[in-house]
Structure 1
Amino acid sequence: MLSKIKKSPVFKKAVIILLSLIALGLLFFASIYFGAWGKLPTSVELKELEQNKATQVLAKDGELIGKFYIYDRQPINYDQFPEHLIEALIATEDARFYEHDGIDNRSLLRVFFKTILLQDESSGGGSTITLQLAKNLYGRKDYGAFGIVINKVQEAIIAKRLEEIYSKKEIITLYFNTVPFSDNTFGIESASMKFFNKHTKDLSLEEAAVLVGMLKASHYYNPRIFPERSRLRRDVVLVQMGKYDYLTEAQVEDAKNTDLILDYKSYSHNKGLAPYFREQVRKDVSKILDTLKNKDGKKYNIYRDGLIVQTTLDYEMQKLAEEAMYEHMSELQQQHEKSYGKYAPWIRNKKIVEDAVKKTSAYQNLQKEGLSEAEIMKELKKTRPVELFDYEGTETRNVSVIDSVTHYLKFLNSGMLSVEPSTGKVRAWVGGIDFRYFQYDHVSQSKRQVGSTFKPIVYTTALEQGIEPCTYFSGREVTYDEGWTPSNASSEETDPDMNYNMETALSNSMNTIAVKVLMRAGINNVIRQAQEMGINSELPAVPSIALGTASIKLEELAEAYTSFVNQSRPSKTFYITRIKDGNGNLLAEFEPQVKSERAFSETNRQIMIEMLKSTVNKGTAARLRSRYGLRNDMAGKTGTTQDNKDGWFVGITPKLVTVTWVGSDDHRIGFRNTAIGQGANSALPIFARLMQKMNQDGRFNEITGARFRSPSTEVRELMDCEAQKRDGFFKRLFGGSEDNRKPEKKEKKKKKGFFQRLFGKKDKKEQN
């Protein structure tokens, strides 16, 4: 019977077909093995696996504040994996991981019979951890109808090679460092930091189960978006751990009853802590890397080479600084909008709106397409869903490009920088109110008129030129060249017969006297003094420079003020201390840059600190004491520019110099009135709130508890005089002035009558 079957033509054909299929299968396998469908990695290449790694940006104490990456990946070692994480992975993904050589034949048979033939989806998959690793490392390509088969065979070949090269521990390590999670995150360490704000070694059982559960479908089980799905999947992982005796039944139930709590930290470019600072670091590191080469002679890549960038930023202070800014700016914005009401320039001033619209990419793209002005404006009036920033939370509304521009024109913006004066190390950096919507950095990019914050430089010059602090100056107005007559911001008429010493004039920010001090000290001397204190911006040689009409970067102003608490030596701001490669090898290192020569004498430094302390204790910054209840040793200076366009405050403590600025990005939009726009109201409260928060945190005791040294006996004697004195009878009778600037105009100026003083208005040429 058997011989008849063998002789049967049908049998022969079947054998030929079978052998042909086997031969074709072998040829097909050989074509994949030898790279006809794409080159497979060799054993040598697998031994030298290199994956794109995220560059990490660290705060001064090692806290992670941001990353630069194409794929968010931070490789770690096997000993950093907690045991329950490994057990969760094996129980859920590959129960016989330690028994097979990369391919689990028993699982494949189970999949074939139960899943394919019996359509039992609960039977699980046949993919091993090693097969998944092969897929993670090399991905899958589209080969058309044969794609799934070709990819599976390629992965099997790679998996076999991996098992021959690496130990099981090494495969686990490679797997956890390459496996994809939600939100463009690769590797367990990045996922752990993103979803739970902790390192992998610190993951709890429940947290480990959440992350392992996510591997089945990273988006579908994303705990940020779908917390209930994620929790249910976590429970499946826990049950699997119980099934394979990694947990007792009681431990499984206890873990299942634990709430799913995330501590999500976004390390995307636009979100997270210190985004303006991180962007500046990115720019600087990229320039530095252009000068360096790795062992292969190639330039380092900030997005792929897993570098470590150590910065000076204080993680906790930065958080408090951002909170202080946000809290104050949300309140100030309400005051700002309410003050203008329906007469707001972002609504009424068509020129401002038109100019802003023409700067948008939407307008410029339509213009490049050759559309007429009328056609462009017609397109820009079409509405579409847009996410708009607001302090109460972002909101998606149907608006046009013009509507969007008008919406953003109304917002005030802010800049803030806190610096350690002895070194120039940046401790906090806030470049704006929200990097997602306002990416212009007001710390490093913006130049604005600095108002009365420039006056301490003028007074320092005067002291250096031999003018003693007890020199008295009249507060009366004087007209200078080209008919310019500076006046004080106070609504009260200055007594023309009253004279003030320098401390009183500076602490009360008297404009009339500031210009007189400048003229006595010499304009060129003031400019030279500013340069010695770290001001590099061009300063115009005009009398109005005394009132801060020069545009200066916030960074420069901070550097100049460090000299008042650093032995008269300005410190150059810096924020990157070291750059290392992924193996910890030092690539670049940076040290403080403090001028070796004094910018002014120690005696004059002490005098200036006493004057600036008076500003806080009884001058224009007195609300730090009265309203905010701060009792720290502090000095400072307020500043407000012409037409209330900019508000400034510089806060000085023995161990921290902080500069804050507030204003509109469009220079044509100022505050409606001085009450809102003056630096004491617009900028000072950010510093005040920061100090309040730092006072409540014991970690900052060294800064908040620092005390200024008592002034020397010489300084006390030099400043020992009445704050003000009235001209004597004969001087009032016959006149006379210390200014020698067109006295005839001063004599001709009419004194205002009672009703004019009571109801009249003064033109504010400059503000404090």
Structure 2
Amino acid sequence: MFRRIKNKYLRYLVIFIYFVIVFVCAIELNFLWLFGYTPDMQDIKTPSYSVASEVYTADGKLIGKYYHENRSPIAYKDLSPNLINALVSTEDVRFYKHGGVDFYSFMTSMISTAKGDKRGASTITQQLAKNLFATRKRKSQGLVKHIPVLRTLVYKIKEWSTAYKIEHVYNKQDILTMYFNTVPFGNNSFGIKTASLKYFNKQPKDLTAPQAATLIGMLKATSTYNPINNPTRSLERRNVVLGQMEKYNYLKKDEYAADVKQPLGLDLSYVDDESQGDSYLRQAVEKWLRKWCKDNDYDLYEDGLKIYTTIDSHLQQYAEEAVAEKMKMLQRRFYSIWGNKNPWRDSKGVEIKDFLLKAEQRLPIYNLLKKKYNGDTLQMNAYFTKKKQMRVFTWHGERDTTMSTVDSIKYYAKILNTGMMTMEPTTGQIKVWVGGINYKYFKYDHVNQAKRQAGSTFKPFAYLTALDNGYSPCDKFTDKPVSINYTYEGKQETWAPNNADFHFSYRDMSLRWAMGKSVNSITAQLTEKVGWDKIVDYAHKVGIESPLKAIPSVSLGSNDVSVYEMVRAYSTFLNKGKKVDPILVTKITDQHGNVLADFKLKEEQVISPETAWLMLYMFRGGMEEPGGTSQALWEYNGLWKKNNQIGGKTGTSSDYVDGWYMGITKDLVTGVWVGDDDRSIHFNSSESGEGSHTALPIFGSFMERVYADPKSGYTYGPFPKPWGKITKEYNCPSPHIAADTTATDSLTTPVDTTLVQPQPPAPEGGGPSPEGQ
């Protein structure tokens, strides 16, 4: 056929056109799966903006969804003409003249690019095709994705083809409406409705020309031209858009001259109520899956995934109930202690005078006000002290009130918070995740985001180091003053820790008794013997990931760690010395039930089974040794049935800033932290602020609920018997003496005095009887 065309140039042109047609048809048909999915006419007629991904507990209860609510279409009549004019004049000036693809602009852009002036040529319809149908995402890719130049050509042809289909089905107004409902504006804002509310607290139809130009200007690069993070660049880009509007007669010259002089005029006061279904757990799952989604090119908010977590809905409920019950009690105690006094204090108990000013300066609106009022502190202060209507969190539900910004800072600064996590060490599965008291008002997750001083909950890592390097639980040290000289960062330092009441008993104490009673002096002596560098190594070995200062006080918990890390590290002891990577998600399927990923247990033997078992024996000392700091758990009668055993460790940081409890049963490890988000706000005495009075009650209440439910699957019982031969002495007798107050679970303050007289430890395989306690 081609030979009949005698003019070779015409013949080559016809051949080229023929192959283009064949190539386009092959792409449309996804020939041999080479080119991936291309939207067909049915897709175009019934577009799906996104499909929500769903999150389930291990027992099949829906606990959350991921979706962009702002994907819901708004009508064309709800769009300001300023938005449309700004978009067309900046992104696609020939929008009303082409049929989806503008080859004139395409050719001119190629010429400009060749001259060094790179600019895009995608029409609004092409951008819509890319946003709405994800023509460049994973499901749209075929085998040619591995061939760079060909891959780009296929992407472009798909966009052209889809754009033509869109123009065939919809009119220009429909296309503009769909475009504005799908385009991203940064800061997790998708669609013009959310963006206009977020940045200007206005509906899209009410935007002025400068405001519309600011939003349209962001489309070139949402991070670079973000008006919150980069106001200077955003202002420059906005004025470029206004210039385009004036150039194409959408603005008069005098309007343009006035508009470019205006400030950005952001209004960030809008609060999005559409996130009420959000939760700490939902956010934790998203963070946990972030890398997997990136590696596999999935979008949680659009791809309709079904995510099955390890969370037990019953245990999660019991944890949340325990937190609510005990935190209300702790908050009442906190208010009672401080009364009308301001609780923000330095280490000497003196009120921090500039606390409120610094809190104001940390607010996102502070710099905007500073710029607006040219640093006039009187006007800025007037803004912060002006009363306004707001809804606030209370321990009895939300409440509408009238409050100034300063009053709000004072109010929220005094509210205590918590973080709690429970894990099943043998499977690595996380069963409970409580990131705080209320996600809507306190977004910060206190399980894995917050890191605080661990206090005496870190001491077990010193005893672990000792047991794994020649010591036994029965080895004795004397409770006496200790002074350690060391060098840190080139400076000579001396560390001489005190016991709680600055009193030393001069008694000989076994390591088990010393750890159970949380004696600072013996922990310090042990630290000097085994080496603080080695303690850091062991802490990292069993699961602590945070950087730790290798100094003698490391064993008393002077470093910041997270609840997540502590639960992981303590789980190593119950898992026969094998460190696990905690699992939050077990399986992901698509919306049709096809399995996309399974997440299996990953574990590593990091300490010997013998050492791990001996550590469990040591943890029981908190309940069984005289003055053991866990003995407040005896008050929880629901814990002590059927020869049940519980081990654990309290912890309190300096000045009662952080209260901790790490609890271990035969099946579970639970970590609880309690404190204020600002470290300068805290309790003021051992009777109110120690871990045994703040975090331990949450653990006790939680485990009572777990044991009371026969369907929970977690039963009473003793700790496991030795997993192998124990070569070290351990069944050390405890002295029958009344407990005193020399124990401490903090750096400088006393721990719980003994509430009951403990019995001697029972033989292995049994536990202390609660009768008579």
Which whole-Å CA distance do the structure 2 matches of 1:625 and 1:323 have between them? 20
Kindly provide the CA deviation profile for residues 358-395 of structure 1, in whole angstroms up to 9, marking residues without a partner as x: 11123233124234223211211001011111102221
Task: Find the residue that maps to 2:303 and give its secondary structure.
Answer: coil
Task: Tell me the equivalent position of 1:332.
Answer: 330
Check conservation: 2:343, 2:682, Cα contact below 8 A: no
1:500 aligned partner, one-letter code = M
Larger-Rg structure: 1
Task: Tell me the equivalent position of 1:615.
Answer: 622
1:718 equivalenced with 2:729 (yes/no): yes
Check conservation: 2:52, 2:304, Cα contact below 8 A: yes
Task: Tell me the equivalent position of 1:474.
Answer: 478
Change (3 A) 1:350 1:387: farther
Which whole-Å CA distance do the structure 2 matches of 1:453 and 1:341 have between them? 30
Structure 2 counterpart of 1:351, from 339, 346, 354:
354
Task: Tell me the equivalent position of 1:495.
Answer: 505
1:365 aligned partner, one-letter code = L
Task: Tell me the equivalent position of 2:29.
Answer: none
Deviation for aligned residue 1:715: 4.5
Kindly provide the CA deviation profile for residues 395-453 of structure 1, in whole angstroms up to 9, marking residues without a partner as x: 11111100000000001110000011012211110111111111111111111110111
Check conservation: 1:642, 1:767, Cα contact below 8 A: no
Number of aligned positions between the proteins: 497
1:661 aligned partner, one-letter code = W
Which whole-Å CA distance do the structure 2 matches of 1:614 and 1:681 have between them? 19
Structure 1 counterpart of 2:390, from 365, 386, 389:
386
Which whole-Å CA distance do the structure 2 matches of 1:143 and 1:309 have between them? 36
Task: Find the residue that maps to 2:588 and give its secondary structure.
Answer: strand
Change (3 A) 1:602 1:269: farther
Which whole-Å CA distance do the structure 2 matches of 1:357 and 1:371 have between them? 14
Which whole-Å CA distance do the structure 2 matches of 1:375 and 1:341 have between them? 31
Task: Find the residue that maps to 2:315 and give its secondary structure.
Answer: helix
Structure 1 counterpart of 2:421, from 417, 435, 439:
417
Which whole-Å CA distance do the structure 2 matches of 1:523 and 1:48 have between them? 65
Which whole-Å CA distance do the structure 2 matches of 1:685 and 1:281 have between them? 27
Kindly provide the CA deviation profile for residues 732-757 of structure 1, in whole angstroms up to 9, marking residues without a partner as x: xxxxxxxxxxxxxxxxxxxxxxxxx9
Which whole-Å CA distance do the structure 2 matches of 1:463 and 1:602 have between them? 12
Deviation for aligned residue 1:343: 2.7
Kindly provide the CA deviation profile for residues 13-58 of structure 1, in whole angstroms up to 9, marking residues without a partner as x: xxxxxxxxxxxxxxxxxxxxxxxxxxxx997447876463221011
1:555 equivalenced with 2:538 (yes/no): no
Summarize the alignment of residues 401-412 of structure 1 with structure 2, pairs less than 5 Å apart: 401-412=405-416
Deviation for aligned residue 1:141: 4.8
Summarize the alignment of residues 295-314 of structure 1 with structure 2, pairs less than 5 Å apart: 300-314=298-312
Change (3 A) 1:48 1:142: closer
Deviation for aligned residue 1:593: 1.8
Task: Tell me the equivalent position of 2:379.
Answer: 375
After TM superposition, the score normalised by the length of structure 1 is: 0.61
Which has the higher mean CA deviation after the structures are superposed, 459-468 or 704-713? 704-713
Which whole-Å CA distance do the structure 2 matches of 1:525 and 1:624 have between them? 32
Deviation for aligned residue 1:627: 4.5
Which whole-Å CA distance do the structure 2 matches of 1:439 and 1:379 have between them? 25
1:533 equivalenced with 2:542 (yes/no): yes
1:765 aligned partner, one-letter code = T
Kindly provide the CA deviation profile for residues 499-553 of structure 1, in whole angstroms up to 9, marking residues without a partner as x: 1001110101111111111111121221111111011211111111110101112
Change (3 A) 1:713 1:71: closer
Which whole-Å CA distance do the structure 1 matches of 2:41 and 2:73 have between them? 14
Deviation for aligned residue 1:339: 1.2
Task: Tell me the equivalent position of 2:612.
Answer: 605
Identical aligned residues as a percent: 33
Change (3 A) 1:72 1:400: closer
Which whole-Å CA distance do the structure 1 matches of 2:63 and 2:582 have between them? 19
1:676 equivalenced with 2:688 (yes/no): yes
1:666 aligned partner, one-letter code = D
Deviation for aligned residue 1:559: 0.8
Check conservation: 1:577, 1:589, Cα contact below 8 A: yes
Check conservation: 2:459, 2:557, Cα contact below 8 A: yes
Which has the higher mean CA deviation after the structures are superposed, 344-353 or 527-536? 344-353
Check conservation: 2:430, 2:584, Cα contact below 8 A: yes
- Tell me, which stretches of 5 or more residues in structure 1 are unaligned? 1-40, 74-136, 145-266, 294-299, 727-756
1:666 equivalenced with 2:675 (yes/no): no
1:445 equivalenced with 2:465 (yes/no): no
Which whole-Å CA distance do the structure 2 matches of 1:767 and 1:528 have between them? 28
Task: Tell me the equivalent position of 1:544.
Answer: 553
Check conservation: 1:647, 1:661, Cα contact below 8 A: yes
Kindly provide the CA deviation profile for residues 584-609 of structure 1, in whole angstroms up to 9, marking residues without a partner as x: 223333212211x2x22222222211
Check conservation: 2:309, 2:586, Cα contact below 8 A: yes
Task: Tell me the equivalent position of 1:510.
Answer: 519
Which whole-Å CA distance do the structure 2 matches of 1:285 and 1:602 have between them? 32
1:698 equivalenced with 2:701 (yes/no): no
Which whole-Å CA distance do the structure 2 matches of 1:764 and 1:323 have between them? 31
Which whole-Å CA distance do the structure 1 matches of 2:579 and 2:73 have between them? 53
Check conservation: 2:57, 2:311, Cα contact below 8 A: yes
Which whole-Å CA distance do the structure 2 matches of 1:548 and 1:288 have between them? 34
Check conservation: 2:315, 2:431, Cα contact below 8 A: yes
Task: Tell me the equivalent position of 1:360.
Answer: 363
Change (3 A) 1:315 1:712: closer
Kindly provide the CA deviation profile for residues 450-478 of structure 1, in whole angstroms up to 9, marking residues without a partner as x: 01111111101101110122211111122
Task: Tell me the equivalent position of 1:15.
Answer: none
Change (3 A) 1:494 1:277: same
Check conservation: 1:628, 1:688, Cα contact below 8 A: no
Change (3 A) 1:46 1:688: same
1:584 equivalenced with 2:567 (yes/no): no
After TM superposition, the score normalised by the length of structure 2 is: 0.60
Task: Tell me the equivalent position of 2:633.
Answer: 624
Which whole-Å CA distance do the structure 2 matches of 1:633 and 1:424 have between them? 21
Which whole-Å CA distance do the structure 1 matches of 2:465 and 2:710 have between them? 39
1:709 equivalenced with 2:713 (yes/no): no
Which whole-Å CA distance do the structure 1 matches of 2:708 and 2:497 have between them? 42
Task: Find the residue that maps to 1:648 and give its secondary structure.
Answer: strand
1:765 equivalenced with 2:732 (yes/no): no
Which whole-Å CA distance do the structure 1 matches of 2:274 and 2:285 have between them? 12
Task: Find the residue that maps to 2:660 and give its secondary structure.
Answer: strand
Change (3 A) 1:138 1:447: closer
2:472 aligned partner, one-letter code = E
Check conservation: 1:500, 1:723, Cα contact below 8 A: no
1:435 equivalenced with 2:418 (yes/no): no
1:718 aligned partner, one-letter code = E
Task: Tell me the equivalent position of 1:315.
Answer: 313
Kindly provide the CA deviation profile for residues 231-278 of structure 1, in whole angstroms up to 9, marking residues without a partner as x: xxxxxxxxxxxxxxxxxxxxxxxxxxxxxxxxxxxx987545x81110
Check conservation: 2:638, 2:708, Cα contact below 8 A: no
Which whole-Å CA distance do the structure 2 matches of 1:679 and 1:44 have between them? 62
